[in-house]
């Protein structure tokens, strides 16, 4: 299972192709306008036999781009930039609704040693920036911070690899297995906390980190920065409440807890008695997840990740609007 979503999967495939002696071309979404299906920073690789991994749109752009590549109709001077959907007719042709448009960066990926270095950093959960100089084509790998995001100027492109968002799950039970698997696919670094020996010993989700320290200590250790999420999933107030007390006083982006509406109301009452303010309690998502009629652990996991994704996308849109106003 990929540790950090499709980026790792794509880079691992690129390594395999290079080891097989294939010519590998990397395509990155630089910028989008309108209703483009994939966000900036999305990746795709392709080789001359007409095989691709990853995506930069809903499918039609990939088909045209691959055909041009296989037929040697792209520039031989890399890196090069391409535009799709520059007018309404072309946007419709390439499946970019509402006048959508995207700009792509096309590079020759031929430095196997540097690719290995990047993959090693990702496996070690180290945030790494891949910096492409658009004038010289030089590519550098640099240490990155969680607040760094994808960046594109006329001078350079910076793409961040590795987990920028952290998810702490309190409880190593059945639901946590599904939540963690989906979270890994979405690019989170997942830490599972459960001091209960019988649960900790049974935990087997590859790619996650397991800790048996107490939940409040786990929040202190793993969730003291804004790009973190805390989910209390044990149904045990002695464990969940400890984590929530700490998390609701932290800068964590999202704090949630499972339970019926009645149990969640009782939890809020307990947390109030323990000293949390009304403003702090308003940050608590409980019952956690979107209301989609979910009952089974996989369905509940879908609802939880869907709600978190919704709030992250709202935040992203708000930040974009703020930047445009400034």
Residue 148: CB atoms within 10 A of its CB come to 15
**pLDDT at residue 318 is higher than 90:** no
* Average pLDDT of span 188-203: 96
Q: What is the pLDDT of residues 295-313, one digit of tens each?
A: 999 999 999 999 999 999 8
* Average pLDDT of span 232-252: 96
Domain edges within the chain: 6-161, 165-312
Closest residue by Cα to residue 209 from 194, 190, 236, 232: 190
CATH superfamily membership of 165-312:
NAD(P)-binding Rossmann-like Domain (3.40.50.720)
Least confident of 75-89, 121-135, 244-258, 278-292: 75-89
**pLDDT at residue 321 is higher than 60:** no
Q: What is the pLDDT of residues 253-290, one digit of tens each?
A: 999 999 999 999 999 999 999 999 999 999 999 999 99
Closest residue by Cα to residue 15 from 53, 42, 71, 49: 53
Cα–Cα separations (whole angstroms), residue 24 to 67, 74, 105, 156, 268: 15, 14, 14, 21, 54
The predicted structure's pLDDT at residue 303: 98
> pTM (2 decimals)?
0.82
pLDDT band at 324 (very low <50, low <70, confident <90, very high): very low
pLDDT band at 4 (very low <50, low <70, confident <90, very high): very low
High-pLDDT (> 70) share of the chain, % = 90
Please give the Cα distance from 261 to 175 (Å, whole number): 18
Burial 180-208 (b: 16+ CB within 10 A, else e): bbbbbbbbbbbbbbbbeeebeeebebebb
């Amino acid at each position: 299972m990929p540790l950090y979503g499709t980026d790792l999967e794509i880079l691992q495939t690129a390594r395999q192709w290079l080891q097989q002696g294939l010519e590998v071309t990397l395509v990155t979404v630089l910028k989008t306008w309108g209703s483009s299906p994939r966000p900036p920073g999305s990746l795709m690789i392709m080789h001359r036999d007409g095989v691709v991994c990853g995506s930069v749109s809903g499918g039609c752009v990939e088909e045209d781009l691959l055909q041009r590549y296989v037929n040697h109709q792209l520039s031989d001077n890399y890196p090069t930039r391409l535009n799709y959907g520059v007018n309404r007719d072309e946007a419709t042709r390439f499946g970019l609704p509402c006048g959508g448009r995207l700009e792509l960066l096309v590079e020759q990926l031929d430095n196997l040693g540097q690719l290995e270095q990047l993959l090693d950093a990702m496996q070690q959960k180290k945030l790494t920036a891949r910096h492409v100089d658009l004038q010289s084509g030089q590519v550098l790998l640099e240490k990155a911070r969680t607040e760094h995001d994808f960046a594109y100027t006329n001078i350079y492109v910076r793409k961040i690899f590795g987990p920028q968002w952290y998810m702490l799950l309190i409880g190593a039970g059945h639901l946590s297995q599904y939540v963690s698997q989906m979270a890994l696919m979405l690019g989170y670094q997942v830490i599972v906390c459960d001091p209960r020996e019988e649960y900790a010993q049974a935990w087997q989700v590859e790619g996650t980190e397991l800790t048996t320290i107490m939940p409040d200590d786990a929040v202190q250790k793993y969730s003291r920065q804004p790009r973190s999420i805390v989910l209390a999933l044990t149904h045990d107030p002695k464990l969940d409440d400890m984590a929530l007390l700490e998390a609701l006083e932290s800068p964590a982006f999202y704090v949630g807890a499972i339970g019926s509406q009645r149990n969640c109301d009782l939890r809020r009452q307990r947390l109030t008695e323990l000293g949390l303010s009304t403003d702090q309690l308003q940050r608590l998502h409980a019952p956690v997840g979107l209301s989609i009629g979910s009952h089974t652990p996989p369905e509940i996991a879908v609802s939880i990740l869907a709600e978190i994704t919704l709030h992250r996308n709202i935040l992203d849109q708000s930040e974009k609007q703020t930047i445009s106003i400034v």
